[in-house]
Amino acid sequence: MTQKMFEGVFPAITTPFQEDGQVDHAFLRGHARWMMQAGCRGIVPLGSLGEGNTLSFDEKVAVLRTLVDALDGAPVIPGIGSLSTQEAVRLAQAAHEAGCQGLMVLPPYVYTSDWEEMKAHLSAVIEATPLPVILYNNPVAYRTDFLPEQILELALKYSNVRGVKESSTDVRRVTALAAILPPHVELLVGVDDALLEGMAAGATGWIAGLVNSHPAESVELFDLCRAGRWEDAMTLYRWFLPLLRLDTVVKFVQLIKFVQEESGHGSARVRAPRLVLTGAEQAEVRRVLQVAGPAPTLRTAAL
C-alpha cells in the first residue's frame, strides 16, 4: 500500500536560541537532521512548540530556508499562524517560495472568531498556494474549537486540504473525524499523550513534541501502533507517558526544551515572555527522567 503523505512521526521542532537571543541556525540544522535519521518523516516548524508567535516574519522565513536546505527534499511543513489574515497569507506564500512541501494552518491568534470569520481566514491561507494543507485544531491553546463538520466543509471545498492535526485532547474527536473525512484527508494526533488512543481510533500520523529529545522512542512507538502490536506498544507507552504528559501543560515549551538540555540534545533557552525553568520545576523534570530510566527494548522482530 502506498504510504500516505502525512503518515509517520513529524516533530513539532523547537526553535533553538543562542545566548544573545538570536535563532541558532547551526543547531537547528543538525537537530532536524538527527531526528530525520531516527526515522521521522518530516519537520513541522513555527508551531506552538516552535515559539512561532515570538518570532518575527523575517526570522520565520529564515528558519524555513535553513530547514529546507538541511533536509534536502524531506518535507518541511511550517505552522502558518498570525494575528492577521494578511500576514498569514504572506507567510504561506513565503513558505512556498522557500521550498516547503506543505502547510499546517492555524486559526487566527488572539482574536477568537466565529466560524464565518475563521472560515474566511483559513480559506485565504489555503487559496494562497497550491501546497497541501493540514488544518490544525487546538482549542486549548487558541480558544477556537474547529468542529468536525467545519473541517469537513473545508475538506470538501479545497482539494489541497490533505490532513487534520487534532489537538483538542478529546480522543472522541479522532473517532468522529475518522468517520466523516474523505479518503484524501489524513488524520494526525497532535497531543503527545494521546498517540496510542488516537491511532487505535484511526489516526495515521503524529505531530509530536517529546520527539525533540526522544526521536527513536517516538518512531518505535508509532511503528508498533501502526503494526498493530498493541501489547508491545503499551509497554513502551507506559514508560513514555510521564514524559509525554509534559507536552500537555502551560509550560510545555520550557519543559520540553529542558528535557532536551538534560538529555544532551538542545538548550533550555526560550524567548520572552517565557522564562526558563528554575528550582523546583527543574527538579521535578529531573525526577521524571530519573524514574523513567532507559526505554524498554522492543525491536526484537521486524515490524
Active-site choice (60, 142, 165, 257): 165
DSSP E strand boundaries for the chain: 8-11, 79-80, 103-105, 133-137, 161-166, 186-189, 205-208
Q: Is the dihedral of CA 201, 7, 126, 47 positive or negative?
A: positive
Of 31, 33, 34, 78, residue with least CA distance to 59 = 78
Of 170, 215, 211, 207, residue with least CA distance to 189 = 207
Active-site choice (60, 109, 111, 136): 136
Active site residue 165: yes
Cβ–Cβ under 8 Å, residues 282 and 258? yes
- For 21, residues 6+ apart whose C-beta sits below 8 A from its C-beta are 269, 271
Copy the grid coordinates of residue 73. Answer: 527534499
CA distance 285 to 292: 11
CA distance 187 to 178: 7
Q: What's the angle, vertex CA 24, arms to CA 18 and CA 27, rounded to 5?
A: 115
Q: Is the dihedral of CA 197, 202, 206, 211 positive or negative?
A: positive
Cβ–Cβ under 8 Å, residues 129 and 93? yes
Active site residue 136: yes
Give the Å distances, CA to CA, from 190 to 140, 162, 210: 12, 15, 12
- For 234, residues 6+ apart whose C-beta sits below 8 A from its C-beta are 196
Active-site positions? 136, 165
